[in-house]
Each structure stands twice: as structure tokens, then as C-alpha cells.
Structure 1
Amino acid sequence: MINMKMAIFTDTFYPDINGVARTLKRLTDYLHKQNISFKVFAPRSTGNEYVSENIHRFEGLSFFLYPECRLALPKPKQIKNELQAFSPDLIHVATPFNMGLCGVYYAKKLNIPLVGSFHTDFEQYLSYYELPFLSKFIWKYMNWFHQPFEKLFVPSQDTYEKLSRQQFRNLEIWPRGVDCQHFHPNYSQRTVREKYQISKRYILTYVGRLAPEKDLMTLMSIAKGIPEDLHQHIQWIVAGDGPLRKELESEAPENVIFTGYLSGVQLAEIYSVSDIFVFPSPTETFGNVVLEALASGTPVIGSNSGGVKNIIVEGVNGILCQPGSVEQFIHAIVHLLSHDRERWQMAMEGRKYALSQRWDNIFEHLILQYAAIINKNKKYA
């Protein structure tokens, strides 16, 4: 066991439904298991409040590009008192908004080593919200915000390279893992088919937030564009919720089921019984759902963009398509559904890859990185 105390500043935390909140909950669960003391400073959740003595909550407002991420209204004196009483060895900032700014400020003011993690590429979201003119401002702000960090942990090689081109420093890859005991290929086909009254031969699935940056209009065009002789044998399942849900339901062809947000066994079952996972989003810094699909023995057809292209090995565990190319996605779907042996081989390779991505190994490496930074600061104190 490594002896340290951690303070985490974030503008979203469990039970919020997004990749940042889920990753940080995984991290704090690991810290707890390793008997490493931690405090989380976060806004109040939009869901049922998760209460713990380790978490300090503040009122907040929704952020327009990502409503699940809250702009907190922190109480500086309370934060300072909590930090001084806790006396952390390290501050980890996970988001670049109000709570993150507090973390940066108090790290400097109280002389506490500072690291951060980069989870969401907001600059890529801008074109989907008709705000591309803000791009230069976003990069300027993000560069300024991350300047003091001794390490900035990024989720994929693609993000590492992108931030390097934008002159970010002290980058380190912190990938994501997957629970292969929960996500596996052996759930009951019959259970899911009876639950959703599915009689068609093939099940194609999308899992994720129903929002503009996921390029779901491309998904709808793909579903509509499948050749009729194959279309009649396909059942689509869209698992997730978000601001586009009503619009997507009105646009979708008759063979699409919208389940709403799923978690736990209900979600794992959907992945497991699917023949192909189709994921057109070009804006992922990692792509947690892609790794969950692979763990479930489901090959992925995804966009050749962002962190997804670092998970999918072309022709081995999935197929990569040009972002937004309805034609390429349809061609890939038709090909895999017409070649059972190739699809099953991809399923096995996907599971094999997912088994190598263990959370404990990933967190163990992260903790060693934390310890090295703490020790370096103690040496020069």
C-alpha cells in the first residue's frame, strides 16, 4: 500500500451519467480498496444524490455544451478549511470549470502538488452546436488552465497527439479499463428477445448519450439506408438518453427500439446479444462503450476518429469508417452480416483485447505516477 492523501476536484461525479463521472467513481472505489484517503469536491448531482463523508457537494448550474456537467457555485472558505484540515499530498483536477479552477487555485495557494486529467474534447463539440468561432478561445483557455499541472493524464494516444500539437506539456496516457466479469458474451439471447419482443435475425446496437456530438443523424441515415433484403432482418436497439431523443424517435425507421438509459445487467445483456455495435461518434477522447462492447464479444463498426481508432484494430476486432460516411458504415454492416465466420472471429478477438484492459493494472500505474510526483515535491521542498 502507498501512503498518500488525495483531493479530487471535478464538475461532475457519480451518480451523474457520463464518462468522467464513471471514471472518477472507479478511481475512488480503487482508492478506497487500497486504503488511500481521498476527498472529492464536486457540484450536487442532477440524479439521486450519492452521499459519502468523502464527498463535499456544492450547488451548481448546467453547462450548455454538456448539461450533465455542472458549473458549481463553490464556497471558497469552506473548501480552504476542508483542504487545510485534510492536508492532501496531491490535488487531481478532472474538469476545467469552476471546481477545477478552485483546485488549481488552492494547489498554488497551499503549495500542494497538482495533476489533472483531460476527459472531454469540448472544442470538437463546437461544430455540432453551431459555435465553431469559439474554437480559438477554447484552446487558449484550455492551454492556460492546464499550464500549472505537473502531469496531465489523457485517455488515448489520439488525445495525446492532439494536445501535443496544441503545445500542452507533461502529458501521460491514462487509458480506461473494463469489467470483463460484468460485460461478457454469455447473457441469455432469449431473455432480451422476449423482453423487447425481437424476432428478427440480427440485432445491431448503439449505446451512449443521445446528443449532437455523437453524430446520431448519421446513425439514423445508416439504419434507413440498409438494403431492403437485409433491412427486414435487422432489429436496432438504441440504449441511452439525452436532448435528441424525441427528434431521433421521430426520425427513426420502424425497426429501431429506444430503451432509454440502461445500466447494470440490463445494459450488459444488450451488448452481449448484439451482432454488431455501431458507433458513429467522432468526438470520443476514449470510447468506454466501445470497450464494453468488445468485452461482450460484439465487434464494433466505429468512426476512424478520436480514441475509438486506438481501440479498434481494423479487420481484427472491428471496422473503422470515415466519420459521417453513411455509405462506408452501411458497406461494413452488410459485409459483416454476410460473413458469419469473420464476424465471430472479430468477436473473439474483441473479447481477448478487453481481457487485457484490467482496471486494477491501470490504476496501479496511475498511483505510482501520483507517488513519483509527491516524492519529487517532498525532495525539493
Structure 2
Amino acid sequence: MRLALFTDTFAPEINGVARTLERWTNYLQARDVPCLVFAPDPASSKSPEASPFVERFASMPFFLYPECRLALPNPIHVRRALDAFRPTVIHVATPFNLGLFGIHYAKKHRIPLVASYHTHFDRYLAFYNIQWMVKMLWRYINWFHQDCRYIFVPSKSTLHDLKERGWDEKRLAVWTRGVDTKSYHPNVDKAQLLASHGLKNSPYIVFYAGRLAPEKNADVAISAFAKFRRDVCKDAVLVIAGDGPSSEQLKQQALQEGVDAHFLGFTAMPELQQWYAAADVFLFPSSTETFGNVVLEAMACGAPVVCADTGGVTDTVRHEWNGLRCEPGSADSFAAALERLYRDESLRNRMRARGLAHSMRQSWDAIFDELLARVAEVSLADDRSTIRHIRG
């Protein structure tokens, strides 16, 4: 098998899709499966190391999701690289410029095609007041995936959503996410960490990690925490790790609601693990997730999770078992969950233990073994009639 991967986000970008795809290609290389990645140049502040396995192209940020960059590839260069590589299967991971090149080449040369569906872009539109694009976007997304032998989705809930939209369930398969428990673990010197940030007298830490953008509902986290602090624990501290277009707006909201939130900005490993492990609660109200990697990371670090009762996070968080799920968008619901965990230490401890146990079972190697078997099946298939041949 020889796999060509087309993606509009890839390492060194830091987001769930980029990190998952990097792990996938590392796994393939470790098993001597030839892989060639077509990806955009990252943001100008980052400079990836040159790699013979990655073809890079000039790019610009996509307005709905800047971590996905719209590549400006040279068609001649792409074609020559593919002709030399001779892929037996093409994997398109994002439905933008590079993905279109991958589909075109697969159709022209009758190469088996698979896709991975990572993001509910249609759910982002309302946050940017462009709901009128929903039908047009879905028309395009349906067309983009129509010739894929398999479409890999990150959660059962995402598979159900696509099935409800009329997608063929036989072509849908769950490619879930794992967590590296050597990197994400509960060990932390909490007193030292808090003291280094001027928080040594803080008795209760509520932690949020994620992109600061409208679709992540971080504003709900601030409002819920403000109510919790006002009514329940006046000494609690909200720590927010992440950056994005809503950063300044969220800081203003925190001031207006009387919350002295501690904004860390972009937080990389190993510091991120330290904050997960130091948190008394991980608060994640996003209602647009297809999986929610940060939830699994928090569990692996021993943080009880409070999340929205919708989307891919519901595959990870079992309500009342290893976390609490709340009404999406309801600050009151999230505040009530924070209060419940604060007042019930035994509940926190049970959810911490169960979250840890769940994370220990999410092995990346086992997940990729299953994915490789499915992709290899497609690569070796003689029946390629599902792909419509095109000329030119």
C-alpha cells in the first residue's frame, strides 16, 4: 500500500485534526507503509522542518477555521509528485483546495479514494451570521464525498448525524481518537504550578482549554463560572488556555461579569498537562465538536469533566459516570454542574477515577491498526467502479 494524504491542516499547526493526521502518518512510517502528505505551509510564525514525506504549498487562512489554511498548489508540481510516488490509495482529510486535487487525481487515474470527516463546518455558520450558506455548503460537502469508498468519522454521534443526512451507512466508519497517557497523566506539583502564576491561595481551579472562537462557546464557560463564583465559591479561579479571534472579547466579558479569569494564551505541552492535572474541574461547553480531544486529554490527567450534552463529546463522557453533561448554551446548567462537583468531593473522585480508567483504554496503536486494515482493504480492492473516471 502507498498512501497519499491531502490535508489543509498539518503539523506544526496545533489543533486536533493536525495532530491526529501527524500521528497517522507517523504510524504508517513506523510500519514501513509509504506515505506522501500534501499540506499547506503553516502560519508564518511557524517554520516546519523540511521532510521528504511532506509537500508544502503557499496558503492563506480559512476564515471559519484559521487552523485550516487554503493552499495555493501548483497543479504541475502536484501531478509530478503523485506520478513519481504512485499511490495505491488517496486519503482526503479536508474539503478544500488540496482535497479537490486529491479527488481529481484519484478519479483521473482510477485510484481508490477514502476521506476523513473532522469538522461540522455547517454548525459554525450561525456563529458568524452566515446561516444562509448552510444548504449550499452541504450540497458541496455531499458532492465532495460522493466517490469515497470509506468516510472515516471521529465518533458514533457524527456517524449518526451523517446517516440522518442520507449518507450511506455502509461507507461510514468510526475512526475514534486516542490519548498518549505517557504525556497526559495526573502527576503535577499543584502548589508549585499555582504559585508560579500567582494563584497559590486559590482553593478551587476550573480549567478551560481550546480555541477562543465563537463556535467553542467559551463565553458560556465564563458566564457559568461567574454564577458559580458569585453563588457558591467566591475564591474559585477560572484558568483559560488557548488563543483565537474571541480572545479580547472574552477578556472584556470576564471583566464585565466580575471574573478575574487567568488567561494563559496559547499553552503547549508539557505545561498544558500540568494545568489539566491541577484542575479541580475541566469545563468545556463547546456544542460543535465531532470528538473533542481536549476532553479525553483532561480525563487522562485526572480532571473531572463538565461538557455539553451534544456532539462527539457524548461518546467520551457518560453522564453521571465519568463526567457531567449539560444543556448546550445554558450557563445556568453548567453553573449547577460546577456547584454539584464542588459540594460532592466523593463524586469528583469517582469521576476522576472513571475518566482515568476510560483514557487508559484509548490506545492509539489499536485505533490505527483498525484504520490501516480498512484502508488496506480499499487499496487492494479490484472493484473501483464507485469512482467515476474523468479525463484531462
Structure number with the bigger relative contact order (C-alpha 8 A, sep ≥ 6) is 2
The offset of 1:264, in angstroms, is 1.2
User: Which of 12, 15, 33 is 1:36 aligned to?
Assistant: 33
Matched with 2:244 is 242
TM-score (norm 2): 0.94
Quick one: which amino acid aligns to residue 217 of structure 1?
A: D
Query: In the aligned structure 2, how far is the partner of 1:265 from the partner of 1:371?
Result: 35
Equivalent AA in structure 1 for residue 87 of structure 2: P
Q: Give the partner amino acid of 1:181.
A: K
Q: How many pairs are equivalent?
A: 378
- 1:228 alignment partner in structure 2: 230
Amino acid paired to 2:216: K
**20-29 or 44-53, which deviates more:** 44-53
Cα distance change, pair 229–159 in 1 and its aligned pair in 2 (3 A): closer
Find out whether 1:17 has 2:17 as its counterpart: no
Structure 1 pair 195/74, CA: closer, same or farther in 2 (3 Å)? same
Structure 1: gaps (5+ residues)? none
- After superposition, what is the alpha-carbon deviation per residue over 1:30-89, rounded to whole angstroms, capped at 9, x for unaligned? 112112111100111014122211110111121110112111111111111111110011
- Give the corresponding residue for 2:356: 351
Comparing 45-54 with 141-150, greater Cα deviation is found at 45-54
Alpha-carbon separation, structure 1, partners of 2:384 and 2:264: 54
**Given the two structures, how large is their TM-score scaled by the length of structure 1?**
0.97
1:377 aligns with 2:382: yes
**Cα-Cα RMSD:** 1.5
Query: Deviation string for 1:167-190 (max 9, x for gaps)?
Result: 223100000000111111112112
- Aligned match for 1:208, one of 202, 210, 219: 210
> What displacement does 1:379 show?
9.3
Aligned counterparts of 1:306 and 1:191: Cα–Cα separation in 2: 36
Give the drift of 1:337. 0.6
Counterpart of 1:365? 370
- Answer yes or no: is 1:219 the counterpart of 2:216: no
Amino acid at match of 2:206: L
SS in 1 for 2:184: coil
Contact residue 239 and residue 264 of structure 2 kept, 8 A:
yes
The aligned counterpart of 2:87 is: 88
The answer to whether the Cα contact below 8 Å between 2:112 and 2:384 also exists between their aligned partners in 1 is no
1:310-329 maps to which residues of 2 (within 5 A)?
Answer: 310-329=315-334
Matches of 1:323 and 1:69, distance apart in 2? 26
Q: Equivalents in 2 of 1:114, 1:229: separation in Å? A: 55
Give the corresponding residue for 2:389. none
| Deviation sequence 1:208-262 (CA, Å, 0-9, x none) | 0000000122112112111536332211110000001111112214431000111
Question: Matched residue of 1:176: which SS?
Answer: coil
**How far apart, CA to CA, are the structure 1 residues paired with 2:382 and 2:176?**
25
Alpha-carbon distance in 2 for matches of 1:140, 1:340? 49
Segments of structure 2 that go 5 or more residues without pairing to the other structure are 386-392
After alignment, is 162-171 or 280-289 more displaced? Answer: 162-171
- Name the structure 2 match of 1:143: 142
Q: Equivalent residues in 2 for 1:160-239 (5 A)?
A: 160-169=159-168, 170-198=171-199, 199-228=201-230, 230-239=232-241
1:234/1:255 contact within 8 Å kept: no
User: Aligned partners of 1:49 and 1:360: how far apart in 2?
Assistant: 28
C-alpha separation in 1, matches of 2:79 and 2:230 = 63
State whether residues 155 and 307 of structure 1, in contact with CA within 8 Å, keep that contact through their aligned partners in structure 2: yes
Question: Secondary structure at the residue paired with 2:311?
Answer: coil
Instruction: Return the letter of the residue paired with 2:188.
Output: Y
Alignment-derived partner of residue 56 in structure 1: 55
- Segment drifting more, 121-130 vs 192-201: 192-201
SS in 2 for 1:319: strand
Counterpart Cα distance in 2 of 1:195 and 1:143:
50
Amino acid of the structure 2 residue aligned with 1:83:
L
Work out whether residues 113 and 377 of structure 1, in 8 Å CA contact, stay in contact via their aligned partners in 2: no
Aligned-pair identity (%): 42
Report the 3-state secondary structure (helix = DSSP H, G, I; strand = E; otherwise coil) of the residue aligned with 1:20. helix
SS of the aligned residue for 2:270 comes to helix
Query: How far, CA to CA, are the matches of 1:358 and 1:101 in structure 2?
Result: 32
Correspondence for 2:303: 298
**Contact between 2:229 and 2:235, CA under 8 Å: does it hold in 1?**
no
**Counterpart secondary structure, 1:226:** helix
Name the amino acid aligned to 1:334: E
